[in-house]
Amino acid sequence: MKIMFVVPNYHCGGMEAIQGPLMNLGPLFAASGVIKAGHEAAFLDCTAERLDATACMERIEAWGPDVVGFAARTHLVNESGRMAKEVKRRFAGVKVLFGGIHATFMHQEIMDDHPAVDFILRGEAEVTTGMLMDALNAQAPLDSIPGLVWRQDGQITENPTADPMKELDSYRPAYHLIENWDLYRNHINGKRSAVVQFARGCVQKCRFCSQWKFWDTWRACSAQVFADEVESLYRDYGIRYFLMADEAPQADRETWEALLDALIAKNLEGAIFGTCARTKDIVRDHDIIDRYAKAGFVLMLLGAEFTANKTLKAANKEARTEHTINAISLIRGAGMIAMVDIMLGWNNDEGEVLETLDNLPALGADYVCFFWTTPYPWTTAFDELSNRYGASKDYDTHNFMTFLGDGVDQRKMERKLIGFYFLYHFNPLRLFGGWFRGPAPRRTMYRQMFTLGTRRCLAQMLPWLARFIEPRADVKMMHWCKQDTRWKSGTVPGKNA
């Protein structure tokens, strides 16, 4: 049996604008289970390859899969549904599978709205995707496959879900399915990059987030397995920038120290790591923070989210502003770059956005990344947020780059954000400290990030310059600017039905 995992072509700026194209790890993990079960797998990233709908269907047809598995993250789910419909129209007998966080929580809605979807796998899919392929190959019953949602005699059947995977060492991403690693060059330093995952889950339960709910419990693979995987990517594929997809990789200090030691022992010259971090863990690790940098960590991203403690408490964030300031000081003191995520629009009020900008310099971060509050239906904040500014099933815009309320003029506020960037990053003390202080890896990355950010801002302030300094419109703008790959009247763009 053959399955092709497909990521639809979708661009919205945001992290892609900063980091460059980021691979979707979910399909690569699921592919590992398929291969272990003795089946064939392929990976098609239409976002990274910039494939339109026509080219995507041609690639599917050329490989001839029995099953096509679509990434069904929230912002991808409707496009995946349109592509699923076209797969069923063009390729008789091919089954369609959805998976991911959105599919896990919204499986009933997907099955109702997208009749072309045959199967949904809820939760972690490494083992269950292999089980599904085994059952389809043997034409066996499907009722024993954990987490499977499927159609049977016109009815939708939901199998009980499985417990979270405890042994993460056995299923690692099928990186060998990526044929062209140059598609994933980091925008900051131009080096080949890979998304990697050490741990799953988060010990926080922020009301706007679903990661802790999806993964259920915090777990990590062994430090040696992860370090060996990184070394393989470094030596076999020339990867020099590693972005950890973990929500809280440092949650368990003993496990984290083992990872730092394993990476230090590898001595991968020129390798750079970026990761998310909880302020609580950074403060806890004040006595070993220098080992972070020694292991290759240069970019540390803190989910500060808000600059008002009242809002942090309302969102069920553990950290307070003073904790973030402390963590940033420790990160910078250890010769790393401190980057913060800031969520805008929580209270659907422009005054709050402006107040946030006024308060941000006090944090002392090297770089600030903004995103807009987005109400996801399965989060504990959904009722509050949807009542505050409405909710929509136009999931194409659920990308953190599009504000869904009406109390904030997004274009107006984004012009304010551009002004903030210039004032913040051209501050003489911050500029001097970033360009000339600290170890070489920090100075180099800071200069690269500064140059990239300046180009982005200039392209937005002076659109006529964009064609010269930022030719890819989909990554130069802060607002939503997805490439149009929608189907029209059942046709693939450029072809007749």
Using one digit for the tens of pLDDT, what is the confidence trace for 410-439? 888 988 998 898 899 889 988 898 999 999
Residue ranges of domains in the chain:
2-158, 185-476
- pLDDT value, residue 480: 37
pLDDT tens, residue by residue, 438-454? 999 999 999 998 888 88
Structure tokens at 33: 């289970």
The radius of gyration computed from the CA coordinates of the chain, to the nearest angstrom, equals 22
| Tokens matching residue 197 | 């995952």
The mean pLDDT values, 10 residues at a time, for the chain of 497 residues are: 94 77 93 97 94 93 97 90 94 95 94 96 95 97 95 91 91 96 92 96 89 90 98 97 95 97 96 95 96 96 92 91 95 96 93 94 93 90 88 83 88 89 89 91 92 80 69 45 40 32
Question: At a CB cut-off of 8 Å and minimum separation 6, what does 260 contact?
Answer: 288, 291, 292, 294, 295
Beta bridge partners of 455: none
Span 185-476: which CATH code? 3.80.30.20
Q: Is 267 exposed, middle or buried (0-12, 13-18, 19+ CB in 10 A)?
A: exposed
Distance of alpha carbon 358 from alpha carbon 118, whole angstroms: 50
Going across the sheet that includes 148-152, the strands are: 40-45, 2-7, 67-71, 95-99, 119-121, 148-152, 155-158
Whole-angstrom Cα distance, residue 31 to residue 194? 17
pLDDT at site 485: 41
Tell me what pLDDT residue 470 has. Answer: 61
Q: What is the mean pLDDT of the chain?
A: 89
pLDDT of residue 53: 87
Residue 277 to residue 304: CA distance in whole angstroms: 10
Residue 337: left (phi > 0), alpha (psi -120 to 50), or beta?
A: beta
Cβ atoms within 10 Å of 418's Cβ, excluding its own: 17
CATH match for 2-158 among 3.40.50.12280, 3.40.50.2300, 3.50.50.60, 3.10.580.10: 3.40.50.2300
The two tokens of residue 480 are 């939503």
Torsions phi, psi for 63 (to 5 deg) = -85, -30
How far is Cα 160 from Cα 195, in angstroms, rounded to an integer?
31
Terminal-residue alpha carbon distance, the chain? 28
Q: How far is CA 218 from CA 32, 59, 325, 389, in A?
A: 21, 37, 26, 33
Burial 349-380 (b: 16+ CB within 10 A, else e): ebebbeebbeebeebbbbbbebbbbbbbbebe
